[in-house]
Structure 1
Amino acid sequence: MREVTVIEDPAAAEVSLAPIRARLLAELAEPASAAMLAPRVGLPRQKINYHLRALERHGLVELYGERRKGNVTERLLRATAASYVISPLALPDVQPDPARGRDQLSARWLLALAARLVRDVGTLVTRAARARKPVATFALDGEVRFASAAERAAFVRELAEATRGLVERYHDGDAAGGRAHRIVLAVHPEVTKTAEDAAREEEAAARG
């Protein structure tokens, strides 16, 4: 089982988004048969088999083994990955394009950059898995609490200047055999409320 699988095929994305099939993928972190899954999700075995065939057809689950149970041979299936990410390539005609409306202070532009990151890294991961090679990447995740908007603005300026200096220092456009790498930096507020809490607050504000 892979740690993560990137779904690029639109049909596979559609299959994975059906609530019952998403539930089956979660249940199949450990091998199970349709008969074993039926009581867990509250559906007849025949319907479970129907959904499992759809998932298997799109490579989201795989045959783990078989076992005899009385006069019946049960197929044990397992999810092909511990988690799944849907690439913007699954919606090629409407995927965000960072080339449109470049604005460093726009949350929508940040979202377009994040979508491209998922798309590009997802493609690299998929190709590397096929070639059985690692992908050379680096990621940094952290948290900073700003005392004021002015402090946040100053931090962003320094971060941009430091990054620009590093790029100028190490970038070599004429390097024979060199490979271009993309750098994405983001600063955004941390999500601290659940969707339910946010909805309740919006409803209360609307009522006045």
Structure 2
Amino acid sequence: MHDIAVIEDPAAAEVSLDPIRSRLLAELAQPGSATMLAGKIGLPRQKVNYHLRTLEHHGLIHLVEERRKGNVTERMLQATAASYVISPAAMAAVAPDPGRAPDRLSARWLLALAGRLVRDVGTLITSATQAKQRVATFALDGEIRFATPADRAAFATELTDTVTRLLAKYHNETGRKHRLVVAIHPALDSLADENPDSPGTPNDGK
């Protein structure tokens, strides 16, 4: 079972969002049968079987074992991943396009970048899994507190200058292209403590 899987198929995304099926996916982090699950979620076994067949059809769960009990064969199933992310590719017609209105100070543009990141990395993971290869990626995650909005702006300027120098230093026209995304946003657990003028940037609502 993978730690995380990306759902790109619209039908699979729709299936995963059903509350009962979502609960079944969570329960199937460990192998289970329709009979076992029926007792946990309080539904008849036949109804649980219906949902399990749907999840299996869309590749969200898979058979791990069959157990023979008298005249009955019990199918043990497990989710294909511990957690799932729905890619914007599942809604391709309305997926966000960062190239439509690039604005480094816009929270919505940041969201569009994040959506493209999920879509692209999800596609890479899917292809790499099929080829039994790994995807070469790198990520940083950290927290910082700014004393003033001016400090935040100065940090953003210095970060931009530093990244620009690195891009110029290591870029090679004949090398394999990589995408770099750097983002700063207020931490959700700190919003309640922020002053009215401190969260985000002036164009956060764009």
Give me the whole-angstrom Cα distance separating, in 1, the residues matched to 2:155 and 2:137: 25
Q: Which of 176, 181, 187 in structure 2 is aligned with 1:179?
A: 176
User: Aligned to 1:145, what secondary structure does the other structure show?
Assistant: coil
Q: Which residue of 2 aligns with 1:134?
A: 134
1:12 maps to which residue? 12
Among 180, 184, 188, the alignment partner of 2:185 is: 188
Q: Please provide the CA RMSD for this pair.
A: 1.1
Spell out, residue by residue over 1:100-145, the C-alpha distance to the aligned partner (whole angstroms, 9 max, x if none).
1110000000000000000000000110000011111000000000
Are 1:39 and 2:36 matched, yes or no? no
Q: How does 1:79-94 map to 2 (within 5 A)?
A: 79-94=79-94
- What is the aligned partner in structure 2 of residue 162 from structure 1? 162
Deviation at 1:70, TM superposition (A): 3.4
Q: What is the CA–CA distance in structure 2 between the aligned matches of 1:69 and 1:3, rounded to whole Å?
A: 32
User: Unmatched 5+ residue regions in structure 2?
Assistant: 192-206
2:75 partner SS: strand
Structure with greater contact order relative to length (CA < 8 Å, sep ≥ 6) = 2
In structure 1, distance between residues paired with 2:69 and 2:149: 65
Q: How many angstroms apart in 2 are the aligned matches of 1:74 and 1:187?
A: 50
Q: 1:32 to 1:193 in 2, by over 3 A?
A: farther
Kindly tell me the number of residue pairs found equivalent between the two proteins.
191
Superposition deviation, residue 68 in structure 1: 2.1
Please give the TM-score of this superposition, normalised by the length of structure 1. Answer: 0.90
SS in 1 for 2:78: strand
Deviation at 1:33, TM superposition (A): 0.4
Q: Could you list the per-position Cα deviations for residues 22-71 of structure 1 after superposition, in whole angstroms to 9, with x for gaps in the alignment?
A: 10001001111000000100100000000000000000000011112333
**Residues 193 and 158 of structure 1: CA distance in aligned 2, closer, same or farther (over 3 Å):** closer
- Match of 1:156, SS state, is helix
SS in 1 for 2:32: coil
CA distance in 1, matches of 2:168, 2:93: 35
* 2:177 counterpart letter in structure 1: A
Indicate the SS of the match to 1:183. coil
Question: In structure 2, what is the equivalent of residue 143 of structure 1?
Answer: 143
3-state SS, counterpart of residue 75 of structure 1: strand
AA of the residue aligned to 1:132: K
Superposition deviation, residue 72 in structure 1: 1.3
The one-letter code sitting in structure 1 at the alignment partner of 2:96 is: P
Residues in 2 aligned to 1:70 and 1:188: alpha-carbon distance in whole angstroms: 59
Name the aligned partner's letter for residue 86 of structure 1. Answer: I
Say if 1:17 and 1:193 are closer, same or farther in 2 by CA, change over 3 A.
farther
1:152 aligns with 2:149: no
Q: Distance in 2 between matches of 1:120 and 1:60?
A: 20
User: Aligned residue for 1:120?
Assistant: 120
Percent identity, please: 66
